Structure 1
């Protein structure tokens, strides 16, 4: 990879070419056969990624990380629990809290669906310093906010 920088117009051109390919690739990644009969959508991927990477967690924590209302996560978790993909259980330390996890019987299928993206991000981000990773994540966040602002 070149160590030369990119002028702003060249970087914009490169990203306008690259992002549709990345998004198209993500959309073409269907759930594995074990999950094909379920009503799964890309919105479920983030929830699955958090549970795979960080383990079981309370609904409110998932909502905070996904940046949505707890009621939204509760609806998703309820739907996925009825389908046998997620487990819900009371927190032994605080019975008011619900802990969410991926069912053992579906964990491998969820890992297969989510694993390629997580692995690709690890390869892409590993050579960067922590500050460069933060800048990259913040840049994508700014891009998303600007797209949403235009709507």
Structure 2
């Protein structure tokens, strides 16, 4: 019984590491591919954006976003698009990421993943697969879980 339990624990741990590696490979491959429209915002641009009035409506920890990346693979090569779409569809929570939301609707597949450290969210990842046009959105920062819950409740009630 003890050997069976240890075997199950080992298999679970190794499968989690494999999923995390698949996600990291997917993100690196998408970011480096040719004909991928990538948009990155960090540093000075984010600081300037926080100076405008709309930022005053956001919870304080959302103001601590340090970087935003958007990768649109709709113009990339077909093989990469199919590979990324399949990876998004088969991706589950991993050791580093946990699934916040998963939506399947009329050929559209959206997954929202979080990477946490203690009580704060360090990375917010949105993977979209629709009509052979995958998109990846990554938001980095130091976002408090309570502020995210407050923000979600505020917009759910509207």
Q: What is the TM-score with the length of structure 2 in the denominator? A: 0.28
Give the structure with the larger strand fraction.
2
The structure with more helix, counted as a fraction of residues = 1
